[in-house]
């Protein structure tokens, strides 16, 4: 039995349309990736959660035990007429290290591996292209990002949602790990941010 009350809201099927699409990516601790996409114009929701595991449920404690094989991920609901799936992935490779298996900085374990969960064949083809042609232009070492078919997405516990914006400066991890990533993103993509709209 999961200790996560949000598993009842698991997403087991995705139906992309020309007005709403879903991307699921894992690039280390979901606290680091979620605030990046939540501020991107065209993104309607950025939800921390778990995907890709062997267990039929997921909660933070069991995922961190490294026995379920889930990845900490972000589910991104976006308007593809405003921001494309390819752009979502280009940002993804700009804000995390896709060259080290099972690790982002000091965070290590299979739950922190770099992964893309495609929700249809078109997404798979775009992801293959970005991994082959774009990601190597940003990183010297080989790309180890896993490209995997969609699997059930389990929203993380409520206290993980919007963590950086809620906790921010009160948490040393936020200050030393998340803040530099978010600052780099906001500088590089200043024209694409909701927070910069007037």
* 14 in Cβ contact with 22 (< 8 Å): yes
DSSP letters along 81-140, please? TTS-HHHHHHHHHHHS--SSTTEETTEESGGG-EEEEESSHHHHHHHHHIIIIIGGGT-S
Residue of 29, 32, 64, 174 marked catalytic: 29
How far is it, in rounded angstroms, from Cα 28 to Cα 41?
A: 23
123 CB neighbour count, 10 Å cutoff: 25
CB atoms within 10 A of CB 36: 27
Distance CA 197, CA 186 (A): 13
C-alpha torsion 171→175→176→179, nearest 10: 130
Q: 64 an active-site residue? A: no
d(CA 170, CA 81): 37
Active site residues: 29
């Amino acid at each position: 039995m999961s200790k996560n009350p949000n598993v009842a809201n698991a997403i087991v099927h995705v139906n992309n349309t020309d007005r709403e699409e879903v991307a699921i990516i894992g690039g280390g601790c979901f606290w680091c990736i979620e605030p990046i996409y939540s501020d991107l114009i065209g993104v309607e929701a950025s939800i921390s959660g778990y995907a890709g595991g062997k267990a039929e449920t997921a909660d933070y404690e069991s995922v961190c035990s490294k026995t379920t094989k889930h990845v900490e991920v972000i589910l991104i609901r976006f308007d593809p007429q405003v921001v494309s799936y390819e752009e979502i992935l280009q940002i993804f490779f700009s804000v995390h290290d896709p060259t080290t298996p099972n690790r982002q900085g000091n965070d290590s374990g299979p739950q922190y591996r770099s992964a893309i969960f495609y929700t249809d064949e078109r997404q798979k083809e775009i992801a293959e292209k970005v991994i082959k042609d774009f990601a190597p232009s940003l990183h010297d070492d080989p790309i180890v990002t896993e490209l995997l078919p969609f699997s059930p997405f389990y929203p993380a516990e409520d206290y993980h949602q919007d963590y950086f914006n809620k906790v921010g400066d009160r948490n040393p991890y936020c200050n030393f790990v998340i803040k530099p990533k978010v600052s780099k993103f906001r500088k590089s993509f200043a024209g694409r941010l909701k927070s910069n709209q007037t």
